Chain A
Amino acid sequence: KQEVTQIPAALSVPEGENLVLNCSFTDSAIYNLQWFRQDPGKGLTSLLLIQSSQREQTSGRLNASLDKSSGRSTLYIAASQPGDSATYLCAVSGYSTLTFGKGTMLLVSP
């Protein structure tokens, strides 16, 4: 059974800092890995998708890496802003399953 762990569970940083969120998974037989953003009371917003054959994806200030063999992914956020405050979820996709981590709650203070 796939298990996804996200570290840290919560993170508080001052505006402007670069930060890294970590995600690990137990079964490396995945199709892809996704990072989502969740604002309170809202649906998920997809940030980045990395196929199992890829090593990283970039979108603006976000960069996600994937090391499938070691079961790890990181989400790098450059020059953080207060608007980045949200919960960030990592999810790994199998053929008919989608397994989420519990998320990292990020607070960026002005």
Chain B
Amino acid sequence: GAVVSQHPSRVICKSGTSVKIECRSLDFQATTMFWYRQFPKKSLMLMATSNEGSKATYEQGVEKDKFLINHASLTLSTLTVTSAHPEDSSFYICSALNSGTDEQYFGPGTRLTVT
């Protein structure tokens, strides 16, 4: 089946630094990818929709200058958490949409801890 990878799987960084998370679709081209975050004991929430070659669409309440999304190719989207703070610590998960089948495939997630 289709595979979506995320890198890194876990990252610990200091407050004030920036962290980049990569999401790759390994065996299909994805014009659309989605980024989610999950706080402890909270539901998974959609952050933004990433479209290849254009600007991402952010959900209400998500700071686009803080969570930079780049979808430069049909197999790679990146999420950069800029000037990270402890409240940004969360589980970030991406998904890639196979436009041919309309199926969405999820990455394994990245656990970010900001100290």
Contacts and interface: CB of A to CB of B under 8 A. Distances in A.
Interface of B: 9-10, 32, 34, 36, 38, 40-46, 49, 91, 93, 95, 97, 99, 102, 104, 106, 108-109, 111
Given A32-B41, A96-B91, A98-B44, 11 more contacts: A36-B44, A41-B32, A43-B95, A45-B46, A49-B43, A51-B41, A91-B44, A96-B9, A97-B108, A98-B93, A98-B106
Contact of A46 (B32, B44, B102): B44
Contact of A41 (B93, B97, B106): B97
Contacts of A93: 38
Nearest to B46: A43
A87 B7 CA distance: 28
**Which size bracket describes the interface of A in this complex?**
10 to 19
Interface string A42-79: 01111001010000000000000000000000000000
Contacts of A5: none
Nearest to A93: B38
Contacts of A49: 42-43
B43 to A, nearest CB: 4
Nearest to B49: A43
Contacts of B93: 98
